[in-house]
Structure formats: C-alpha cells, structure tokens
C-alpha cells in the first residue's frame, strides 16, 4: 500500500500524472519555441512533473537504481526551473537556466516513458528485452537528439516579458 492505494492503483496514478506532465510539457515547449508564455500550462507542467518525481520516490526502495538516480537528478533540475521562473522571474541568465531545466525535465519524463514502454509493451519488449539492444538505443538516441534540437531552439527563441511580481 502506498498513500492508501494498492501498488497497482498507485502505479496507475503515477503513470497518469506522468502522462499529463508530458502532454503539458510538450505544449509549453512549443510555446517556448514560439516565444510565448503559457503560464497556466507551465504551472501544470511543473506541478505534475514535481508530482511524478515525488510519487516515484514513494515506490518501495531496496537499492540505488537508475530510476532512483533519475528521480534525484530530476529533483535538482526541477528546483532550478522553479527558482528561475518563480524566484528570479526569468531575469538575465535565469531565462536560459529555466529553459534548459524545463526542457531537461520534460526530456527525463519522455526518457522514462520510452524505458517503461520497452519494459511493458510486449511488442517493444520483444525488440529489446534487455534494454540495451539497437531498437532501444535508437529510440532513446532519437529522443535525445530531438530534445537537444528543440531545447536549442527554445533557448534561442524564448524571450518573453519578465514574469510579473
């Protein structure tokens, strides 16, 4: 039991939060590339990404795993994004820090989605049962390259007015 839910129900809740974070994050990233602030969706993206990171720590922990390391890294990146946006109001270099941190947070969500897809979707698992075969590596490489390119565009183009006090 986690938060009064069976582990299965808690897993479903965690996955739903993650999918909402990814969907909102993709819209926020599109907005950044167009130099548009999407305050409500940005808050949704950051809140659900924080929630998915925190709920990830509530699963039973028996050892230091790649998932746990990803969660720790995600926590640090999210702290930077939140500080840059809400604390420093995107002033000066904080705009760049925010964009990089937000895009990295979204990337980590998608990275985990790909990992879990190869673990849980039978047709994908058949292609890469150990998670180190070419189909998995190609998929993760394509995701990484896409996020590097989109992140670069977002850093170059996202120049909104400062966040109001």
Cβ neighbours, 10 Å, residue 158: 22
**Residue 91: CB partners within 8 Å, gap ≥ 6?**
162
Model-level pTM? 0.94
User: Measuring CA to CA, how many Å separate 129 from each of 76, 102, 124?
Assistant: 31, 31, 8
Averaged over 122-138, what is the pLDDT? 96
Residue 162 binned pLDDT confidence (cut-offs 50, 70, 90):
low
Q: What is the pLDDT at residue 117? A: 96
* Cβ–Cβ < 8 Å for 111, 70: yes
Residue 113 binned pLDDT confidence (cut-offs 50, 70, 90):
very high
For all residues of the chain together, what is the average pLDDT?
95
Q: What is the pLDDT at residue 1? A: 80
**Residue 3: CB partners within 8 Å, gap ≥ 6?**
10, 58
| Residue with the larger pLDDT of the pair 126 and 1 | 126
pLDDT tens, residue by residue, 53-109: 999 999 988 999 999 999 999 999 999 999 999 999 999 999 999 999 999 999 999
- Name which of 19-28, 46-55, 59-68 the model is least confident about: 59-68
What are residue 36's phi and psi, to 5 degrees? -120, 130
Percent share of the chain, pLDDT over 90 = 89
**Is residue 164 over pLDDT 70?**
no
* Cβ–Cβ < 8 Å for 36, 160: yes
Averaged over 110-137, what is the pLDDT? 96
SS3 2: strand
* Cβ–Cβ < 8 Å for 29, 60: no
Q: What is the pLDDT at residue 134? A: 97
DSSP letter, residue 130? T
CA distance 7 to 10: 5
């Amino acid at each position: 039991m986690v938060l009064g839910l069976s582990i299965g129900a808690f897993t479903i809740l965690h996955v739903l939060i993650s999918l909402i974070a990814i969907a909102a994050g993709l819209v926020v990233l599109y907005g950044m590339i167009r130099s548009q602030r999407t305050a409500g969706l940005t808050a949704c993206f950051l809140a659900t990404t924080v929630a998915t990171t925190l709920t990830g720590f509530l699963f039973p922990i028996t050892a230091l795993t790649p998932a746990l390391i990803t969660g720790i890294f995600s926590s640090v990146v999210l702290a930077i994004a939140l500080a840059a946006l809400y604390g420093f109001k995107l002033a000066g270099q904080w705009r760049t820090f925010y964009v990089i941190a937000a895009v990295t947070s979204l990337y980590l969500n998608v990275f985990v989605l790909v990992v879990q897809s190869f673990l849980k979707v039978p047709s994908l698992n058949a292609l890469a049962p150990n998670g180190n075969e070419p189909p998995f590596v190609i998929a993760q490489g394509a995701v990484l390259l896409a996020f590097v390119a989109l992140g670069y565009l977002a850093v170059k183009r996202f120049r909104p007015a400062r966040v109001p006090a």
